Chains A and B, each alone.
Chain A
Amino acid sequence: GQQVMQIPQYQHVQEGEDFTTYCNSSTTLSNIQWYKQRPGGHPVFLIQLVKSGEVKKQKRLTFQFGEAKKNSSLHITATQTTDVGTYFCAYSGAGSYQLTFGKGTKLSVIP
């Protein structure tokens, strides 16, 4: 079946450094979503990508969907302590409303 690998599992960065997490699939994805979960909190929707090669930006966050729709990335420029948390990618099959989540990348930011 379809599997998505999210890497790295953990990332520690100095405040001000950039951060990137990757979501890689063995098969083509119809769409991908990204969520952020703060420590002790619940997942919060960030963005959805559906088009091949799509790039979307939210302030310091840049989201990309690969040309082959098999990978996606979330890049944070100049991290801040407010960026701390776990970032999850999630995808659904074509026409499906069920999401399958990656295992997440836990980001720590050292002030």
Chain B
Amino acid sequence: DAGITQSPRHKVTETGTPVTLRCHQTENHRYMYWYRQDPGHGLRLIHYSYGVKDTDKGEVSDGYSVSRSKTEDFLLTLESATSSQTSVYFCAISFGQGPSEQYFGPGTRLTVT
């Protein structure tokens, strides 16, 4: 497996609270991604990064923000969590530009009550 870790692995939080999920890679790769996975929807891209401080929105970015101050870390923040953001969140990295395969972290299961 690629050197990708996610923290926390599980989190339960209340509606309205801020939440930050961390993705850490040891591979020094430029491209990083945040997805959410929900039953019946597959994997949907939230935000992605193509370098330090270079980020852009994906398909389902509303309610989420990201930051990447170092190559190895990509943070996903829910400013004010809602129950609709209960999901499994996966971070991924890719090794190159263009249609390159992606390698996924173990995931974070987030429950918003």
Contacts and interface: CB of A to CB of B under 8 A. Distances in A.
Nearest to A99: B102
Contacts of B107: 42
A45 B58 CA distance: 20
Interface residues of B, number: 28
Contact of B105 (A42, A45, A92, A99): A42
Question: Taking chain A's interface residues, is the majority helix, strand, or loop, or is none over half, making it mixed?
Answer: loop
B43 A97 contact: no
A101 B43 CA distance: 6
Classify chain A's interface size: 20 to 34
Nearest to B58: A98
B84 interface: no
29 contacts: A30-B99, A33-B99, A33-B101, A42-B90, A42-B104, A42-B105, A42-B106, A42-B107, A43-B43, A43-B90, A43-B92, A43-B102, A43-B104, A45-B102, A48-B99, A50-B99, A88-B43, A92-B99, A96-B98, A97-B50, A97-B98, A97-B100, A98-B33, A99-B33, A99-B102, A101-B35, A101-B43, A103-B41, A103-B42
Interface of A: 30-31, 33, 41-45, 48, 50, 88, 90, 92, 95-104
